[in-house]
Structure 1
Amino acid sequence: TKKMSEILKAEDIDKALNTFKEAGSFDHHKFFNLVGLKGKPDDTLKEVFGILDQDKSGYIEEEELKFVLKGFAAGGRELTANETKALLKAGDQDGDDKIGVDEFTNLVKAA
């Protein structure tokens, strides 16, 4: 499995994480843009999804979403409960309370 820093630029990851280091400040639109995901091909987005899907279930569940920033770099903070719920709501298109790979790629593209 690739590391996030092999897919995206380390400086972009750092910049994005620093921008949202305050609890409650997370904005997925801005984050995906800053981290360099916007405009990446589907294959790349699927690789990123694979890293964030820690239990390899094919979905990013709410518990994994909480750690989404840590998926980009170990120094990332945990999302607050409200941030996690907002991200889940934004990404979960079919109402199953988790984000599948297609939902993830759509979420990034909509950013």
Structure 2
Amino acid sequence: MAMTDLLHAEDIKKAVGPYTAVDSFDHKKFFQMVGLKKKSPEDVKKVFHILDKDQSDFIEEEELGFILKGFSPDARDLSVKETKTLLAAGDKDGDGKIGADEFSTLVAES
């Protein structure tokens, strides 16, 4: 399944665009702009599984660094600071990774 099966390509392009500068990523604004906040819980979990590149049922810190590329292959990687900020926002149980339910909560809080 591709991200564009769940989200509009134009929304993805508009959402990724503002985050070309290092340390500019704001997950709350991004999830709203990309249209993820309006999606059903089932669709949010499908997006989670696309972002979970190693299919471990978790998005680990390394995978979080590539989250923008999960939406658009030509997007940049997150900086270490942005990755740690996103992990801190999403990792509710403190295990160092984000599960599907934590991801859904992170999107809902946006």
Q: TM-score range by the shorter chain?
A: over 0.9
How far the C-alpha of 1:6 sits from its partner, in A, is 1.1
Question: What residue number does 2:13 align with?
Answer: 14
Amino acid corresponding to residue 52 of structure 1 in structure 2 = L
How far the C-alpha of 1:21 sits from its partner, in A, is 1.2
Amino acid corresponding to residue 64 of structure 2 in structure 1 = L
Contact kept, 8 Å, 1:39 with 1:109, in 2: the verdict is no
- Cα deviation 1:45-83 (Å, max 9, x = unaligned): 010000000000000000000000000010111000000
How far the C-alpha of 1:39 sits from its partner, in A, is 2.4
Question: What residue number does 2:89 align with?
Answer: 90
How far the C-alpha of 1:19 sits from its partner, in A, is 1.1
Aligned positions of 1:52-63 closer than 5 A: 52-63=51-62
Pairwise CA RMSD: 0.5
Using structure 2 for the length normalisation, give the TM-score. 0.98
Amino acid corresponding to residue 73 of structure 2 in structure 1 = A
Amino acid corresponding to residue 46 of structure 2 in structure 1 = E
- Cα separation, 2, equivalents of 1:76 and 1:32: 15
Confirm or deny that 1:101 pairs with 2:94: no
For residue 37 of structure 2, give the secondary structure of its aligned residue in structure 1: coil
- Cα separation, 2, equivalents of 1:21 and 1:40: 25
- Cα separation, 2, equivalents of 1:36 and 1:75: 19
For residue 38 of structure 1, give the secondary structure of its aligned residue in structure 2: helix
Using structure 1 for the length normalisation, give the TM-score. 0.98
Q: How many correspondences in the alignment?
A: 110
Runs of 4+ in 1 over 4 A off after TM superposition: none
Identical residues among aligned pairs (%): 55
Structure 2: which 5+ runs fail to align? none
Question: What residue number does 1:31 align with?
Answer: 30
Question: What residue number does 1:43 align with?
Answer: 42
- Cα separation, 1, equivalents of 2:51 and 2:38: 19
Amino acid corresponding to residue 86 of structure 2 in structure 1 = L
